[in-house]
Amino acid sequence: MTPAAFIKIKTWTIGTIRDPLQHFRPKHFYECSCCGYIGRFVTAKRRYPVPFRCPACESRPRDRSVALWLNRSGMSLRGAILHFAPEWPIFRKLRNQKGYVGGDIIRRRNANSIVDITKISFPDESFDLIICNHVLEHVLDDRLAIRECFRVMKPGAFGIFTVPLSGELETWEPPLDMTVEEVEAKCGWDHKRYYGYDFRERLASVGFEVDMQEFSEDEGNRYCLELKERLFIARKPVDPT
C-alpha cells in the first residue's frame, strides 16, 4: 500500500467512526490548497457535521489557509524556513528540503528538530520564512516568543502567524488567580489567553510590518476554509529605522 493510499484509508476510517452519517448527507466537492486534491472532505465529528479534513493529506482549514497564501504569494520555499509545531501536510511537503526546520518543543514524528519558540537555538537573521500556525496561544510568554521570531528572521523575511480569535478588539488575558481549568473552559485546551484583533499590534510592537489576510466567501467554499480565520503576515523591515 502506498503512503497516499494509507492516509486516505486512515482519514476516511476515522471520519466514518466519528460521524457515520456523513456518507448520507449531500455531497460537496472542495479543492485542497495543500496537496491539490479535489473531491469530498471528511467531517470532524458528528456534533460538528461540516466538511473539515482533506482525505488525501489530512489538512485542516487552518493548514489550507496557510498553504493558499503561500501558493498565491509566489514566495520561494527554497530558502531557510522555520516552522513551529509543523502540520503534517506542510511538513511532508518540505521536510526533505535543505534549510527547512520543522521544530517542536518535544520530539514528534512530524518534526525534525527540537525548538523552543521562547528560546530559539539559532543565530540572529537565520530564516527567510517563519510559519507559526496556532502556536502562540499555547505559549505562556507569547511576547518573548514574538521577539525571538523577529530576532531569527532575516531583514525582508516574512512570518505567517495565526491564532484563534475571539472576535473582540482586545485580547483577553486571564487574571492571575484564575485556575488552569477555568482558563481552558473559556479559551480552549492548553490555551493561555483569547486573542483579539489587537494581535496585529502585538506583532507590530517588536518591529514587524503587519498585514491581516482575510478570505472571501468564494474562497471559503472552494477550499473549505473557516472564514473567521485570519492570517497575520509579518514582515521584518530591511531597514530597522
Residue 101 confidence (pLDDT):
96
In this prediction, residue 47 has a pLDDT band, given cuts at 50, 70 and 90, of confident
Residue 207 confidence (pLDDT):
97
Q: Which residue did the predictor score with more confidence, 5 or 150?
A: 150
Closest alpha carbon to 12 in 27, 28, 23, 25: 23
Domain-terminating residue out of 53, 78, 93: 53
Whether residues 78 and 115 share a domain: the answer is yes
Beta strands in 55-206 (DSSP E): 81-84, 100-104, 113-114, 127-133, 153-162
Domain-terminating residue out of 13, 28, 53: 53
Alpha carbon 147 to chain centroid distance?
Answer: 19
* Residue 135 lies in domain: 61-235
Closest alpha carbon to 124 in 156, 142, 150: 150
Whether residues 138 and 191 share a domain: the answer is yes
Whether residues 115 and 38 share a domain: the answer is no
Question: Grid coordinates representing 221?
Answer: 467554499
Q: For residue 10, is it within any domain? A: yes
Q: For residue 241, is it within any domain? A: no
Residues 195-241 have pLDDT tens digits of: 999 999 999 999 999 999 999 999 999 999 998 899 999 999 997 55
Whether residues 144 and 99 share a domain: the answer is yes
Beta carbons within 10 angstroms of residue 118's beta carbon: 15
Half-sphere exposure of residue 119: CA atoms within 13 angstroms, side-chain side: 3
Whether residues 28 and 65 share a domain: the answer is no
Q: For residue 230, is it within any domain? A: yes
Whether residues 108 and 196 share a domain: the answer is yes
Residues 85-115 have pLDDT tens digits of: 999 999 998 998 899 999 999 999 999 999 9
Whether residues 29 and 146 share a domain: the answer is no
Position 8 pLDDT exceeds 80: yes
Residue 4 confidence (pLDDT):
86
In this prediction, residue 76 has a pLDDT band, given cuts at 50, 70 and 90, of confident
Position 125 pLDDT exceeds 90: yes
Q: For residue 177, is it within any domain? A: yes
Position 74 pLDDT exceeds 90: no
Residue 182: which CATH number?
3.40.50.150
Residue 66 confidence (pLDDT):
95
Whether residues 34 and 93 share a domain: the answer is no
Q: For the chain, what is the domain count?
A: 2
Whether residues 189 and 108 share a domain: the answer is yes
Whether residues 78 and 188 share a domain: the answer is yes
Residue 241 confidence (pLDDT):
58
Proportion of the chain above pLDDT 90, given as a percent: 81
The maximal CA–CA distance of the chain, rounded, in angstroms, is 59
Q: Given the DSSP bridges, would you call strands 42-45 and 48-53 parallel, antiparallel or unpaired?
A: antiparallel
Q: Which residue did the predictor score with more confidence, 41 or 27?
A: 41
pTM of the model: 0.92
54-63, 150-159, 176-185: least confidently modelled range:
176-185
Domain-terminating residue out of 13, 36, 53: 53
How would you label 140-162 residue by residue, b for 16+ Cβ within 10 Å and e otherwise?
A: eebeebbebbbbbbbeebbbbbb
**Mean pLDDT, rounded, of the chain:** 93
In this prediction, residue 51 has a pLDDT band, given cuts at 50, 70 and 90, of very high
Whether residues 46 and 70 share a domain: the answer is no
Q: For residue 240, is it within any domain? A: no
Whether residues 134 and 164 share a domain: the answer is yes
Q: For residue 139, is it within any domain? A: yes
